[in-house]
A and B are shown apart, each in its own frame.
Chain A
Amino acid sequence: MSSALEVKDISKSFKDYRSEWHRVASWFGLDFKTKKEHHILKHIDFAIAAGEAIGIVGQNGAGKSTLLKIITGTLKPSEGSVHIHGRISAILELGMGFHPDLTGRQNVYHSAGLMGFSHEQIEAVMDDIEAFTEIGEYFDQPVRTYSSGMQVRVAFGVATMYRPEILIVDEALSVGDAYFQHKSMERIREFQKQGTTLLLVSHDRGAIQAICDRAILLEKGTIIKDGNPEEVMDFYNALIAEKENSTVKQVEKEDGKVETISGTGEAKINGIGLYNQDNEILEYIAVGDTITLKIEIESLEEIPELTVGFMIKDRLGQPIFGTNTYHYKKQIKKAQKGEKYEILSSFSMNLGVGSYSIAIALHSSDTHIAGNYEWRDQALVFNVVNTSKKEFVGSSWLDTKVEVNHVK
C-alpha cells in the first residue's frame, strides 16, 4: 500500500541564542554557538499507509504536540523531512481561531477560509455543516454564547466539511457529549473507509483500541514503541505507573500475545493459574463455573504493606472486572525477604463467550500508582465457552428465567 504520510528521521530542537542578533545572523549563514538547545524530538521515523488509523500516545511533554505541529506544517523540523500525500485537516483545539462576536456561520466562513477554501467551496457545504452540528438557531448566534460542546461541533463540522486525505484529531473530541462523539466517530469511520488516514492523539485507552490499527508511543522525544494498540497501551500504562528506578519489559508468549512486565521489583509473581474445584488447571472455562484464580508471589525485600490485584480484560483490552486484596482487607503486612504467598480468589465465571486476559499487579496500597512492585499485563489468557447454558450473546452471563404466559 502507498503511504499517505512519511515522517523521515525528523528531529526538532528549540535554540536559545546568547543574543537574538546571533539568530538573525544565522539566517544569513553566519554560525554562532547557541547558548542552549532543547531537543524536543529525536529521530522520529515512521510511515503511515493510506487508510490506516494511528494512535499517538505519550505522557505530557513527550513531544506529541510538537510532532503534530510539524506534520501539519506550523513548525519546521530542525532535521529530516515530512512527506504528505494529500490534504491534511487537523482538529487541534476546539474553536480554532473562532471569533467570539461572530456567529457560527460567519466563523465557518472564516475558519474554512483559513484552511484555504474558496467562498464557493464553503457555500456549497454550508447547509451540510449546519445540519451536522445540530445546534439549531445557535448557528446564527455569536459564538460567545456557545457552550464548549457547541463550539467543538462547529469546529469538527468545519474540519471535516470535505474529506481530507489525512485527519488529525487531538483530544478535542472528548469535549463533546456522548451523542456527538458517536456521530463524529461515525464520520471518521466513513472517511476511513474512503481511504482517509487518521492520526488520533488521546490518553483514552478505549478510543485508541477501538479505532486504531496501530499505536505509537512517544517518550522524551523518541518513539519507544510502535505496534499493535493493545500492546502499546499496556506498555504505556506500565510506564505511567513505573517509578524511575523500575523497568518495563515485554515478552512474547507462545500464543503470540505479548506480556508486559514492569515494576520496581521488590516483589515478584512466580505463577498464575485458573483452577476448577478439583484443582485442575484450566484454559477453557465453561460459562457459570466456579473457579479459583491462584497467584503465587514472592517478596524479594522487606515490604511493609503488599496488595495483590487482578484485572480481567476482554480481547480489546477493555476492563471487565478487577479488584485487589486491599478492598478485601487481606493485604500482606510486613512481608519479609524471601517469603512466599499464595493468593486464592474464587468467583463464578459469569462472562460471555470469548477470549480474556488477566493482568496482575503487586503494589503497596489500593492503587497501582503508588509503589508498583510488579505488574504484568496479559499475564494469563483464557477462553470462556458455553457448554451448559442456553444460547446468549454479550459480555456477561445473567442467570435468566424465562416465562411465557398466554394473556387472553
Chain B
Amino acid sequence: MLLSLWSYRFFILSSIKTEFKSRFIRSNLGGLWIIIHPLAQVLVYALILSQIMTAKLPEVSTQYAYPVYILSGVVIWTLFAEVLGKSLNVFINNGNLLKKMAFPKLALPLITIGGALLNFGILLIMMFVVFGFLGHLPYHALHWIPLLTLLTLALATGLGLFLGTLNVFMRDIGQMIDVVLQFWFWLTPVVYMMNIIPEKYHALFMLNPMTGIVLGFQNILLYDKAPDTSLLVYPTIFAIIGLALAMLVFYKAREEMADVL
C-alpha cells in the first residue's frame, strides 16, 4: 500500500500545486490573494485585539503580548482544524474519482495534508512579518516548530483518516465533528490563558491532546523558549494510537468504500 503511494508521489505533489493554484486561478490579483487572506487573519488578531484587550501578560514586556499569544495558538490550531476538517470529507468529495479510477486512495488525504501544510507555512511567514512590525522576534526555540508541526499533523491525520473513513458509511460523523471542532477550539487554551482555569480542572484540560501542543507553540513564539516536553508525551502517544487505529479501519474499509459512494 505504501509502496504504491511512493509511485504516486508525482501525482500527489502536482495535485497539491493544482489545488493551490485553482483557488485563485480566475481572479485578477491571482497570487496576491495567497498573501492577503492570511495577512488579514493575522492583522485582525494583532491590531484589533491589541487595542481592545490591552491586558499585559506576566513575564512579557511588550504591549502586544496578548495578540502574540493568540496568534501563536491560532496558527497551529488552524493547521489542526484544517487537516481534520478536510480529511473528514476527502473520500466523499472525491467519490466520483474513486468510483472510476483505480489509484491508491491514501493519495487523497496526503494531498489534503500537503495543501494544509502549504497554507500553514504561508500563515506562519505572514505572522512573522507582523511580529516584526510589532517588534517581537522570537528566535531561540524556532527549531521546535517542525517537530510540533509534525506532531499536530500526525494527530489530525490519525483522527481525520479514522473519522473520514467512517464518515463515508455514516455521514452524521462529519456533521458531528464540525460541531465538536467548535467546542474543541474553546476547550483549548488558544484565546484564554491556562491560569484563568481553576487548578483542579487542569488535569482535565491536559486530556485534550491539543493543549500540550498549543502551549508549546506559545512557548516558542511568545516566551521565546523551548516547549515543555513533558506535555508533549501524551499528544505523541495519542497521535500514534490514532494513526494506527486509522490505518486499521481504513485498511478494512477501503474495498467497500466505492460501493457506497
Contact = CB atoms under 8 A, between A and B. Distances in A.
A20 interface: yes
B101 A74 contact: yes
A24 B14 contact: no
A75 interface: yes
Contacts of A101: 22, 25-26
Contacts of B26: 101
B97 A97 contact: yes
Interface stretch (A106-114, A199-207, A294-302): A106-114
Interface string A65-98: 0000100111110000000000010001100110
A14 B11 contact: no
A101 B72 CA distance: 35
A23 B256 CA distance: 10
A115 interface: yes
Contact of A75 (B103, B249, B258): B258
Given A24-B166, A97-B101, A74 B11 contact: no
A27 B11 contact: no
Which of B7, B26, B98, B259 is most buried by chain A, counting CB atoms within 10 A of its CB? B259
A75 B101 contact: no
Range for the number of chain B residues in contact with chain A:
20 to 34
Given A28-B252, A116-B8, A75 B100 contact: no
A7 interface: no
Contacts of A88: 102
A74 B25 contact: no
Contacts of A96: 100-101
18 contacts: A14-B259, A21-B170, A27-B253, A69-B99, A69-B258, A74-B102, A88-B102, A92-B100, A97-B96, A97-B97, A99-B22, A101-B22, A110-B11, A114-B101, A115-B103, A116-B7, A116-B8, A116-B11
Contact of B15 (A76, A93, A113, A119): A113
B8 A113 contact: yes
B199 interface: no
Interface of B: 7-8, 10-11, 14-15, 18, 21-22, 25-26, 96-103, 166, 169-170, 249, 252-253, 255-256, 258-259
A88 B103 CA distance: 12
Nearest to B19: A99
Given A76-B258, A113-B15, A115-B103, 8 more contacts: A20-B169, A72-B101, A75-B259, A102-B22, A110-B14, A114-B11, A114-B103, A115-B101
Given A20-B170, A28-B252, A106-B18, A93 B8 contact: no
A118 interface: yes
In the A-B complex, the 4 residue pairs with the smallest Cβ-Cβ separation, listed nearest first, are A113-B11, A27-B252, A73-B102, A76-B255
B169 A23 contact: yes
Contacts of B7: 116, 118
Contacts of B102: 72-74, 88
A69 B256 CA distance: 13
A113 B10 contact: yes
Nearest to B96: A97
B206 to A, nearest CB: 30
B62 to A, nearest CB: 44
A97 B103 CA distance: 13
Contacts of A76: 255-256, 258
A371 to B, nearest CB: 40
Nearest to B11: A113
A96 B98 CA distance: 11
Contacts of B21: 102
Given A24-B166, A24-B169, A109-B14, A74 B8 contact: no
Nearest to B100: A92
Which of B7, B10, B22 is most buried by chain A, counting CB atoms within 10 A of its CB? B10
A342 to B, nearest CB: 55
Nearest to B255: A76
Contacts of B22: 99, 101-102
Nearest to A144: B26
Contact of B18 (A24, A102, A117, A118): A102
A93 B102 CA distance: 14
Contacts of B98: 74
Contact of A110 (B15, B25, B249): B15
A74 B100 contact: yes
B160 to A, nearest CB: 17
Contact of B249 (A27, A93, A113): A27
A388 B99 CA distance: 61
B143 to A, nearest CB: 32
A382 B250 CA distance: 63
A7 to B, nearest CB: 16
A144 to B, nearest CB: 10
A97 B111 CA distance: 15
B146 to A, nearest CB: 27
B244 to A, nearest CB: 15
A384 B174 CA distance: 71
Interface string A107-147: 00110011111110000000000000000000000000000
A20 B259 CA distance: 13
Contacts of A69: 99-100, 258
A20 B11 CA distance: 33
A137 B10 CA distance: 26
Nearest to B253: A27
A277 to B, nearest CB: 61
B49 to A, nearest CB: 37
Which of B26, B98, B101, B103 is most buried by chain A, counting CB atoms within 10 A of its CB? B101
B258 to A, nearest CB: 5
Interface string A1-38: 00000000000001100001101100110000000000
Nearest to B104: A116
Interface string A171-189: 0000000000000000000
